[in-house]
Every structure is written in structure tokens, then in C-alpha cells.
Amino acid sequence: MIIIGLDPGLTCTGWGVVAKSGSRLSHVANGQIRTNAKASMAERLFELDSALLDVILHHRPDTGAVEEVFVNVNPQSTLKLGQARGVAMLAIARAGLPVAEYSTKIVKKALVGTGGADKKQIQHMLKVLLPGVQLAGEDASDALAVAITHANMLGSHR
């Protein structure tokens, strides 16, 4: 089973793809999609959608998961994040795949054992769980963490 995880953001959306075979996980790919900050909102959302479509068509996942929005102090930032998240969920759903959602706290707890884990702890666990993985950046590592969380939540019955 191939699983894609997304960490949505308007400036940078992380993506991570893992393969699950029984209880074994392996890294397939990870990356980050950056949009042009000078473009209009509509153009940036279209750019994100097009890039996600390319990733999905290239890796052909069976299911996907998206990190839930956390509330920022700045309402405008929260709104932009929500729009990017909507595009991320739509990209997976349009491919005919089921979409799961996980809070940041659940992802951290699934990987590190505590919902208060920091980025360095997440990245360390990714290197333990996926030996040899080269992380494309923080957003890509967060997306891989979402994919692994989803893989673990699916159980080994598939």
C-alpha cells in the first residue's frame, strides 16, 4: 500500500510518500511545493493544485492524509492555511482516494510518543523509522510524519 501525507501551507506544502507492507514501512519520496508569493491567491492555489496532481500521478498512492489546521494568532494566516489545506484535500479526493485528517498533536504522539514533541524529535524518529531517508525540508518531514501516522492507523489488516 502506498500512502501520501501532506503538510499544507500556501507558501510551502510538504509531501511525503511511504509504502506499507504488513507492519513494515519504507520511504518512497518526499518534497516541498513552493508557490510564488507575488502571484494572486487564485494563481497560488492553482499552482499548488497542479503540483500536487503531478506528485499524485507520479507516485499513485492508495490513500492519503492531511495535517489539520492549527489556529494562528493572525487570522489571515489561518485563512490562507485553510485554503491550502482545502486544495490538498481536494487533490487527494479528486484522485479517488480516501482522505484522513490528523492533528499535529496526534502526529507527534504517533511518532515520538508525546504530543509536545519538537521538529528535531520528529526528524530524528523519521531517520530511525525510514533509514537512509533524505528529508527535503521541515514541511516534507512533517508530511512524512503524517503519512506514517496514517499507515499506523490503518493497521496491518490491508
Q: State the catalytic residues.
A: 7, 67, 139
| Strand, coil or helix: 78 | helix
Cell of 132: 537512509
Nearest Cα residue to 102 out of 117, 90, 91, 89? 89
Q: In 3-state terms, what secondary structure has residue 5?
A: strand
